[in-house]
Amino acid sequence: VSRRIVEGAQVVAEGRFEGWTPTWMCGRKLWGKRLGIVGMGRIGQALARRAKAFGLQVHYHNRKPVSDLIAEELGATYWDDLDQMLARMDIVSLNCPATRETHHLLSAERLARLQPHAILINTARGELIDEAALAQAVAARAIAGVGLDVFEHEPAIHPGLMGHPNVVL
């Protein structure tokens, strides 16, 4: 999402590519950005290790903090309040299970807490996000980008998420 892959692929597919230059399609750098991981289990920790290698500041929300040893290894900051964390992150990645408690974890209200430059990634479960509310946020440009590997009503994808250069599906 941060590298503008959809937009770049469209330019090439439409025959508008005129050659590479150092500043063309640069996208946004990851170094120094704040990554908020929701769900710090095995997959969340693996993501944190990779994120650290890319120079991201790792933050996380989980039912309970990870051990001090793991937190130190990952350089991860724990947030007990998800709403506060969401409001301060550049990138948010969902990595938690689908349960009754996490259904629409990112509701319209929580999506509104994200900063306009934030990128939202969901590789966990589609039910974690209210896709209708997400489609509205994308249309209103209230969020900078979205990367979804899972969908709320899979295999169907909310039509409001289709065709945007800042949405990778």
Encode pLDDT of 64-102 as tens digits: 999 999 999 999 999 999 999 999 999 999 999 999 999
More confident residue, 25 or 39: 39
Distance between CA atoms of 94 and 92, rounded to whole angstroms? 7
pLDDT of residue 29: 86
Q: How confident is the model at residue 141 (pLDDT cuts 50, 70, 90)?
A: very high
SS3 135: helix
Beta strand pairing call for 91-94 and 76-78: unpaired
Q: Which residues have a Cβ under 8 Å from the Cβ of 141 and sit 6 or more positions away?
A: 116
Is the pLDDT at 2 greater than 90, yes or no?
Answer: no
For the chain, helix (H) and strand (E) counts, in that order, are: 6, 7
- The maximal CA–CA distance of the chain, rounded, in angstroms, is 53
- Distance from C-alpha of 155 to C-alpha of 158, rounded to nearest angstrom: 10
Residue written as tokens 């994808």? 157
Is there a contact between 98 and 127 (Cβ–Cβ < 8 Å)?
yes
Average pLDDT of the residues in 92-115: 97
Residues 39 and 101: beta-carbon distance below 8 Å: no
Residue-level pLDDT at 22 = 81
Quick one: pLDDT band at residue 24, thresholds 50, 70, 90? confident
Q: Which domains does the chain have, with CATH numbers?
A: 29-168 (3.40.50.720)
Which of the four pLDDT bands, split at 50, 70 and 90, describes residue 26?
Answer: confident
Determine the pLDDT at residue 14: 86
Contacts of 14 (CB under 8 A, 6+ apart): none
What pLDDT band is residue 23 in, cutting at 50, 70 and 90? confident
Query: What's the CA angle centered on 74, arms 82 and 36, to 5 degrees?
Result: 25
